Structure 1
């Protein structure tokens, strides 16, 4: 390879190539770059320790003459021969473990309920921490995350595995923002494709003709908490999660005021309480053990009852696959429609949006009409007893 091919005269007279960059090579990677603007800069082409093509800038001509440019080129060559990288790799920022990231991220989530946070923490601890908890966020890959998620999918937890992936993705997103990792591998997992899917099924619900036989069977049970919760669910047409997180502070006489943060549509919902519902709550107050929850957890009053308590009760009395806690909403809606109650009143009581109720609504809308409807339903539901506690 020819070296030192340029002269001072070549450098002084060099012009750009019709407004385009022009390179005049001197050997061993050194060249004079004549810019479209007419300026001239000394540069050196080389390969770094990884074998990648790189370019180092020596400085402008004529401030740096030909001889000095060659001296600097040779100095660069010596550094390369010694294994020195002219562009050192940026220092890797310190990372934290996945378990530490989980704790820090969810501690900062003050915009969600404590119940939702507890569910997320429990899911991550049970299913991801055993394999990933001690790993640095920076070291977690898509493959390692999938390895931790696959057993859930194989066990038939096709819905729950998607939630856990989502919760992990939120933690990893937080890690990226705080410099603990460079990317979120969970974001590249397409849950629709990666995990199995079960056929969508509606919530099982009794036919109207089956309701009273069901209640007769339920009456054979002791008045345990799940039995009373099942009855209140029937009397209010609320969702199971809304009922199990019900607190005494939300009960205002004959009204249950559910805050928007606990509602599916994030809107406050007022539920009229029939005389039967009020009698049931009076009974629960005697059993409350000082808990803020109307239906506290059996082990600790600081948490609500288990999300599956009502469903397990229904299964135990022989109605598995035929009825669910959520099914009371369908029972109530069917009964009210058959008795020709106003569709808007029914949809309002179910806290639906844009169905019978058109657009955003006031939480107290149709309260008088809904009160009458729920009382009529309660009287029909427990027509053989003066209260729902018999």
Structure 2
């Protein structure tokens, strides 16, 4: 027996959801909250699935029968209800926009859908849209560098699908947790480093610092541009042939032995510091306790005291060297990167004899120290 409009209108919610059959597989599904939607069941790959045609009274009895007949003519598989994503979005916007007080925000809301969503899925039947269709939409936005916009659009797309599901237009949807496909790009904030035009002034100020070990440590850091921890834990036993500093792999970020050719100026600094710590294990031993290296912030705080807080750090000497060597020196990028990036492929034993680009790197370190000296002399004359 088929349903009548009066039966449908008078159907009341019960403790549990229930169905009213209209015959030939079409039925009205009434939830505990009183929501009424037109549905039918069908088989797909041997599994029973449910097709939702629409919600009563938005979809009349006559329209539901037509939609069901079309689905059956398609061998029981769901046929388009005629409700596209754009149609469902329009319905949702009628409810959503009045809750947004700012007219500007309302326009931005609509614009985000018109610009980023409708051109791709606006005309697709909402029940046939797949997850990959949605991820493509939001990832396209992210690729433009608009991560926050992509997040907002993903939330709005999900809200449209949620609303369509609540209306009974669809039974389920692929838009849940859509933002999880978006990935925050890690922004590495560069360490502060002065412009290279100010290098001479910095060196001049460092030479006025009144604590010997810290003063010499900063100068040695400038001439070798290694990481702060690498210089802190430098040992006298790591000096080889009187002209190379070989840093063991376990202390390197890349976990590979690194060779630092020592320029004439760098060796002069070591000769001076040897008078202070030559009997200690560490080259830059703490003035307070000579059995341990200087503290983690020794060099940083010294730069603060010299007036460079927020403008220069120990790591900043690496940035300074990278800029100058790449922009002003005659050396190839490969040679510069080997000295900066610490990529050695040699064994620890006698690594400095076979290190990649070692002859060029010796020249590079000499060139760098000469450049620093010239910058300092230019300030003092």
TM-score, scaled relative to structure 1: 0.45
Higher relative contact order (Cα pairs below 8 Å, separated by 6+ residues): 2
TM-score, scaled relative to structure 2: 0.46
Between Structure 1 and Structure 2, the one with more helix by share is 2
